[in-house]
Structure 1
């Protein structure tokens, strides 16, 4: 008897130790999944990521943002104001690690992983089943919608975690007939975080606060009112900021919404209904996702089919057996309310603005999982020990295992797709800014480097951020106002398409580097080696008949299939720059009228790169049968076709005007 008494605590300790070990292993595996290929996938750093990271770096260094404001509540950037929660978290991390893309992306990955684990914890507490919690956590970890959000150093990457923490606090409170004193500040703080973490929270936070009315009872009314009062107090800084900076927090929304002072209420209501339905379109959820390649990799949906099936069945179970419970009324309300901020904007299915939706959807999977895991329930009229009851339980288990297998397979497919297609997105994230823009500018050893953006563009922040990563002091850069002109002799990094009265030094997607005369700075070039003269050309617009002298724009896809980078900028006069040209040939292949037009490369094309160009051609003035030939040319050096590259040809009949 005494031996058994001593053995039971020992077994209990061993069980707890194994449980803790399993939890630690699961957390490590989850973080490995979310940290895979960080920071190289996505490649580069998006301009908004750079803005957030640079302001976090500035706060970590001096307590002031890029504009010199001390400890701001909201961060001014690009005419908009970014939210504080993520930036201050990142500033604290940079204080320990110094500025880096790795640290910023790992913070987002950690926040995404924690959101999934908190959802799993919530499901465990709701169902009292660790198996259900494990399935919910696995689903959240593998859901593309949540995973892709965690890959960017954006404010929104913290939102799933904040939403999950709010739900955890609300579940804890709702389990009691009367909320405790501690529940009030916990819920108010969670609502405050929902409001201050991401821009949709300025509407969604108050909507969720209104939803607490479901918990109004005679015994609990005072606690709900206290929570509302505490939340209102948390909103006071936001209200003060808005009054001191009119339009600061609504300017971005006014640009994105279809509801304007000129539109009618009926038109706004119709627009809201259309966008709301577009945002809850299952085809978007399961097949296409958002069309913005920055936020979603093409080729997959944003929800896993198993997750949606479980949530749909969970909603049925809630309606049948729990629809009078305040908790489930709130969850259904919150799921519907989470679509409202996105439905007020012109975009169809803006994935990031809908980020709270998959969090609430995962809560609805809990009732379905609890039902599938419940071995004690049998069909009506059947005793638990009956053969039919045993078969019913085995069918439920088989269904659960099939759903979990589907979830894992679809999640694995998305992971494969996400990592396979990563290199395709380099241009979206300015992946070559340092090598092709900043490095050529710094290599001149000129100081200061002027940063100029025409109205509506804000590329300057990439120079500040990537300069900080390279150890370049911000004082070396001088940002020009949109109406200012750089002084004579200046070295400029600009987001202009082109420059007048300048000497171009480098060109990249969205950026040029140039010097203002008088200057001794100039680009240098050299003939490309033979192996560089390999191009792939395609065009859907090749004409077969034109009028004499007729002009037509051709869309052409150019691919560098050689082994050397093609320069977009050459020496003065364009020598050694690589361009796309056309020429007209006679039927026998001899030149008819020679070269016609040229289209420049938008950036230095590295091996494997593809660029879309528009080439303006002009038909010969003399009617007849011609061959239109398109070829890549290194100006002043060679046509690629003459070095064995395949050109693009089309027979064209030129008729009189």
Structure 2
């Protein structure tokens, strides 16, 4: 009897150890590289660990400003504590997320034990095993993002609630544990600001004469924890809500009926079994998900269906299980108010509730006759382990996937940052087309021991000194002296300053265009083609080429297709001149080929492309730095034949 008594605890320790090894294994190598948002969180954690200030010098911020949004504090401060002990590194940053995943899986097993009376240890072991092998939880644990901690906070809240649920009255230990874990949910991830109040409202499932006072006290203490949040929002108007206004479909002018319909569509899409158990998040750019891979396991689907059936059939006294059902339903609400369908980060609380809904099914299976019980549990284990192992195989294969390497900037450190360091010129200047890539240089400087003072961000209108080293994400305006390039980054030596510019004169906009030698374009529906259009400066003034720091009065060329009435139907892009373009009378080269990728559907007004002729025009204009048109001219119009196959 003694060996059998220790069998389940021994297996529990073995599975926990193996799960931890699985989650930590090569966490710094897969995904390869470090995503921009990871670098932002890690760098701010590093500056907090060193100076108590964020990257902008603000001491001990409640929320961290980044890329026009705000990062939540819980994960950043935890990581700062680790960096204080170990120093910054990708391994330590990813290790925190891995440990969050291990804690989530282990705590789910512990919660399952506390919620079952018969065969509790076996149920807990099965739930923990499933949690470790669940793709959704594993993928969240592989990236240095706030959301990695979010499922852990949900489980911690449920553990506290489970302890209080069996008590006839709630003392201050219950009140504080529930209120503080709700606060942790709120301050860990943005979705928690809506989900935590919904979970707090769900405590009404446990209301009774003896618990009423404790419930009110819990709400009161939780509201007190929100005072800093409300104060921050008041002092930084819109700081915590601006992002929601961008990503939601609820816009000024939309009717209540339209919004309700949109919510219904998004909610049903977010609980679509095909997304949950077959192909997951549809966004190719999702950093915490392998594209076209399931979020949950098929065995979990079978157990959840049985579990829901059992919960629905139970009498109303089953408050705990009904709260779990309620939690699963409301965990989908915040994500369903945003534009995207099945965004697995915004739905990060859902797998916790889904996995716990397997508990009633496991209890029921373990209560069956011995031969049925053994066969059923064996089938569940085989299905879970085999699919989980296959997902792990796919995940580790993805380490060399070119798209994921690009998304995580896998080559940035070796092929961009260290190349710039090798030039010996200091400081290194950072020129970005958008406001975020600079953080990669800051982070890699931190882990390579490069002083922050050796990096200088350039303003949009600022040119680097001649001879200086520049790391740039500007695809246009690159000089000839590019020494390293990995999309979207380039390293170059600044060759010349840009002098002050003025608008072109009245006669400076005259030009001619020459379409391809073959004036008939052949393509299939849906196909993209590329054609070269030669542009000639026929005016009386040189068109100055693109240079860093000359955003004001920069010359741009754009290509347009015209509809049957001669109006613009489609613009195929705007690009600055790569170099000076002389006038037609100059002896030097006086024309410059321009390249546009032209999609098959040549007019947005047409549902399908059709054969015939299309008119092509080009437009020469100079713009101020706010892209206000200063002057322009319509270049010569050319007819081009189109044959659609």
- TM-score, normalised to structure 1, is 0.74
Residues 442 and 395 (structure 1), Cα distance of their counterparts in 2 relative to 1, 3 Å cut: same
Instruction: Judge which range, 484-493 or 547-556, deviates more.
Output: 547-556
CA distance in 2, matches of 1:354, 1:121: 23
- Give yes or no for contact 1:552–1:616 (8 Å, CA) kept in 2: no
Question: Are 1:549 and 2:526 matched, yes or no?
Answer: no
Question: Are 1:516 and 2:516 matched, yes or no?
Answer: no
Matches within 5 A, 1:247-326: 247-293=238-284, 294-326=287-319
Residues 335 and 501 (structure 1), Cα distance of their counterparts in 2 relative to 1, 3 Å cut: same
Question: Are 1:112 and 2:82 matched, yes or no?
Answer: no
- Give yes or no for contact 2:38–2:145 (8 Å, CA) kept in 1: yes
SS of 1:497's partner is coil
Which residue of structure 2 lines up, in the alignment, with residue 497 of structure 1?
A: 475
Which residue of structure 1 lines up, in the alignment, with residue 194 of structure 2?
A: 203
- Give yes or no for contact 1:555–1:615 (8 Å, CA) kept in 2: no
CA distance in 1, matches of 2:357, 2:296: 14
- Give yes or no for contact 2:528–2:597 (8 Å, CA) kept in 1: no
- Give yes or no for contact 1:322–1:328 (8 Å, CA) kept in 2: no
Which residue of structure 1 lines up, in the alignment, with residue 421 of structure 2?
A: 442
- Give yes or no for contact 1:551–1:616 (8 Å, CA) kept in 2: no
Shift of 1:222: 0.5
Q: Which digits, 9 at most, give the CA deviation of each residue in 1:110-137, with x for residues without a partner?
A: 1101100100000011113110000100
**Gapped runs of 5+ residues in structure 1?**
1-10, 376-391, 520-545, 558-613, 618-652
**Gapped runs of 5+ residues in structure 2?**
498-515, 531-594, 599-640
Which residue of structure 1 lines up, in the alignment, with residue 386 of structure 2?
A: 409
Match among 463, 474, 484 for residue 441 of structure 2: 463
RMSD of aligned alpha carbons: 2.5
Residues 505 and 556 (structure 1), Cα distance of their counterparts in 2 relative to 1, 3 Å cut: farther
Shift of 1:80: 0.6
CA distance in 2, matches of 1:482, 1:133: 57
Which residue of structure 2 lines up, in the alignment, with residue 134 of structure 1?
A: 125
CA distance in 2, matches of 1:340, 1:483: 43
Question: Are 1:186 and 2:177 matched, yes or no?
Answer: yes
Question: Are 1:365 and 2:358 matched, yes or no?
Answer: yes
Which residue of structure 2 lines up, in the alignment, with residue 75 of structure 1?
A: 64
Which residue of structure 1 lines up, in the alignment, with residue 395 of structure 2?
A: 418
Question: Are 1:349 and 2:338 matched, yes or no?
Answer: no
Which residue of structure 2 lines up, in the alignment, with residue 165 of structure 1?
A: 156
SS of 2:471's partner is strand
Q: Which digits, 9 at most, give the CA deviation of each residue in 1:167-218, with x for residues without a partner?
A: 1111111112222321110000110000000110011111111111222211
- Give yes or no for contact 1:156–1:352 (8 Å, CA) kept in 2: yes
CA distance in 1, matches of 2:7, 2:169: 36
Match among 207, 222, 227 for residue 231 of structure 1: 222
Residues 59 and 654 (structure 1), Cα distance of their counterparts in 2 relative to 1, 3 Å cut: closer
CA distance in 2, matches of 1:292, 1:457: 22
Matches within 5 A, 1:613-652: none
Q: Which digits, 9 at most, give the CA deviation of each residue in 1:217-262, with x for residues without a partner?
A: 1111100000000100111111111101111111211111111122
Shift of 1:39: 1.0
Which residue of structure 2 lines up, in the alignment, with residue 480 of structure 1?
A: 458
Shift of 1:29: 1.0
Which residue of structure 2 lines up, in the alignment, with residue 429 of structure 1?
A: 408
CA distance in 1, matches of 2:125, 2:6: 18
Residues 60 and 412 (structure 1), Cα distance of their counterparts in 2 relative to 1, 3 Å cut: same
CA distance in 2, matches of 1:75, 1:496: 26
Shift of 1:409: 1.0
Shift of 1:506: 2.3
Q: Which digits, 9 at most, give the CA deviation of each residue in 1:550-586, with x for residues without a partner?
A: 46798699xxxxxxxxxxxxxxxxxxxxxxxxxxxxx
- Give yes or no for contact 2:521–2:642 (8 Å, CA) kept in 1: no
SS of 1:493's partner is strand
Matches within 5 A, 1:85-96: 85-96=74-85
CA distance in 1, matches of 2:296, 2:232: 37
SS of 1:352's partner is coil
- Give yes or no for contact 2:483–2:491 (8 Å, CA) kept in 1: yes
Shift of 1:61: 0.8
SS of 1:513's partner is strand
Q: Which digits, 9 at most, give the CA deviation of each residue in 1:3-48, with x for residues without a partner?
A: xxxxxxxx97x88887765444332211111112221111100000
- Give yes or no for contact 2:8–2:121 (8 Å, CA) kept in 1: no
Which residue of structure 2 lines up, in the alignment, with residue 52 of structure 1?
A: 41
SS of 2:263's partner is helix
Residues 268 and 547 (structure 1), Cα distance of their counterparts in 2 relative to 1, 3 Å cut: farther
Instruction: Judge which range, 436-445 or 334-343, deviates more.
Output: 436-445
